[in-house]
């Protein structure tokens, strides 16, 4: 599909008001997206586990205006309270998607949103937040059209989410989502994420992700700036090729259940992401001393315990500890005893691979 396929041709705006609500999860990349072209087109393909516990719930109440407005009309409530400071980001998003959602100027929206994880946890809320919002808008669009297929709904929800925040396009479906054009995945696209189209070995069923909150402070460098620094980065071209090669490798690994190879690819991807940051101009470091202490403790434990626990990182200091369901008791005891002491205020979140976004309330 191409961009223009997402411009609706005939909408019947016969609904005066309605309510839509979605819960959408966060996701954690195994192959990392780092570097982009205009409009959040990724410089390399990526793949992620969809999460379950870390999610955003968004409800939109919409009322038809008397006539088409010249500007967006909406209120925003975060955890029950008006949140003026979030509004510019939403306005920017609406401006980016107006071509694809022309009805946005015909309705007044009341947007209520909340997260399951603490706002200041250092867990990015943009993936779950932008995808939950995009899904609500798609549900509105569905009520204005006849015969929208579920495939089109998901693709366009992912397409819109991407325009809000790149990695958000991987939060619509689960348990694994691939995004970005690659010869290894025939139906892949730079415009939206797709459910992983190949077989997945049962060892990855109910895979665990315990997120260790190492540093809950504001990041020194935002991911927008970080992505930008890949322009002119001396290692960029090789990195983009490496990500694609790793995607090819991980497809085979996910199918065969070769967990040792899985751990190698995933950890290498995490460290490569941070190496790109450390070799940007200007360079920066998002890991903290406790991030490294946790990584070393995981490696030591793995040597001696015959388990298959590994780590990944997103653009921050927190560590995602990944392990299979059948090793959960042994690994979780280790996490509590040896890793939680490195967390800020001992905080961590137990999450698991999830199935994607869920519709909660529709009244149209």
Return the residues of window 227-286 that contact ligand PMV according to CB under 6 A: 227, 273
- Residue 62 token pair: 């919409």
What's the distance, CA 95 to chain centroid? 21
Q: Whats the size of the chain, residue-wise?
A: 364
Kindly state the smallest distance separating residue 220's Cβ from ligand PMV, in Å: 15
- Residue 258 token pair: 């070769």
By CB under 6 A, tell whether 46 contacts ligand PMV: yes
Residue number, 113 or 143, with CB nearest to ligand PMV: 113
Tell me the three state secondary structure of residue 15: coil
* Contact predicate 209/325, CB 8 Å: no
Query: How many residues bind to ligand PMV according to rule CB under 6 A?
Result: 15
Return the residues of window 204-223 that contact ligand PMV according to CB under 6 A: 223
By CB under 6 A, tell whether 315 contacts ligand PMV: yes
Dist CA 114 CA 93 (whole Å) = 18
By CB under 6 A, tell whether 180 contacts ligand PMV: no
x/- letters, 12..31, toward ligand PMV (CB under 6 A): -----------------x--
Kindly state the smallest distance separating residue 361's Cβ from ligand PMV, in Å: 27
Which 8-state DSSP code applies to residue 219? P
Contacts of 160 (CB under 8 A, 6+ apart): 6, 97, 100, 101, 134, 137, 138
Which one of 22, 34, 103, 159 is in contact with ligand PMV (CB under 6 A)?
Answer: 34
Residue 210: in which H helix or E strand, if any?
strand 208-212
x/- letters, 111..130, toward ligand PMV (CB under 6 A): -------------x-x----
Residue number, 126 or 173, with CB nearest to ligand PMV: 126
Dist CA 32 CA 46 (whole Å) = 5
Residue ranges binding ligand PMV (CB under 6 A): 29, 32-34, 46, 124, 126, 165-167, 223, 227, 273, 314-315
């Amino acid at each position: 599909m191409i961009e223009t396929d997402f411009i609706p041709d005939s909408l019947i705006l016969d609904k005066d008001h309605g309510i839509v609500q979605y819960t959408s999860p966060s996701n954690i990349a195994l192959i990392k997206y780092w570097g982009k072209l205009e409009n959040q087109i990724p410089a390399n393909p990526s793949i992620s586990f969809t999460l379950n516990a870390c999610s955003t719930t968004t409800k939109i109440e919409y009322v038809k205006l008397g006539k088409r407005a010249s500007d967006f009309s909406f209120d925003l409530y975060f955890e029950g309270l008006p949140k003026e400071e979030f509004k510019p980001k939403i306005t920017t998003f609406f401006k980016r998607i107006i071509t694809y959602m022309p009805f946005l100027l015909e309705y007044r929206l009341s947007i209520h949103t909340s997260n399951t994880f603490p706002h200041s946890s250092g867990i990015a809320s943009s993936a779950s937040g932008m995808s939950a919002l995009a899904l609500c808008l798609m549900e509105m669009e569905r009520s204005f059209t006849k015969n929208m297929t579920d495939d089109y709904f998901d693709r366009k929800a992912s397409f819109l989410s991407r325009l809000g925040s790149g990695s958000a396009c991987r939060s619509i479906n689960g348990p694994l989502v691939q995004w970005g054009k690659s010869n290894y995945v025939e139906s892949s696209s730079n415009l939206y994420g797709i459910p992983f189209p190949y077989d997945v070995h049962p060892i990855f069923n109910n895979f665990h992700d315990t997120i260790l909150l190492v540093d809950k402070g504001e990041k020194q460098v935002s991911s927008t700036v970080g992505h930008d620094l890949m322009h002119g980065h001396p290692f960029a071209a090789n990195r983009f090729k490496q990500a694609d090669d790793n995607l090819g490798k991980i497809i085979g690994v996910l199918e065969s259940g070769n967990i040792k190879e899985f751990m190698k690819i995933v950890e290498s991807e995490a460290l490569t992401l941070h190496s790109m940051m450390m070799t940007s101009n200007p360079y920066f470091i998002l890991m903290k001393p406790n991030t490294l202490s946790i990584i070393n403790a995981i490696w030591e434990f793995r040597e001696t315990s015959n388990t298959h626990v590994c780590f990944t990182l997103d653009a921050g200091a927190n560590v995602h500890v990944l392990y299979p369901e059948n090793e959960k008791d042994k690994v979780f005891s280790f996490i509590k005893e040896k890793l939680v002491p490195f967390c800020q205020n001992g905080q961590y979140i137990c999450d698991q691979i999830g199935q994607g976004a869920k519709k909660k309330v529709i009244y149209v």
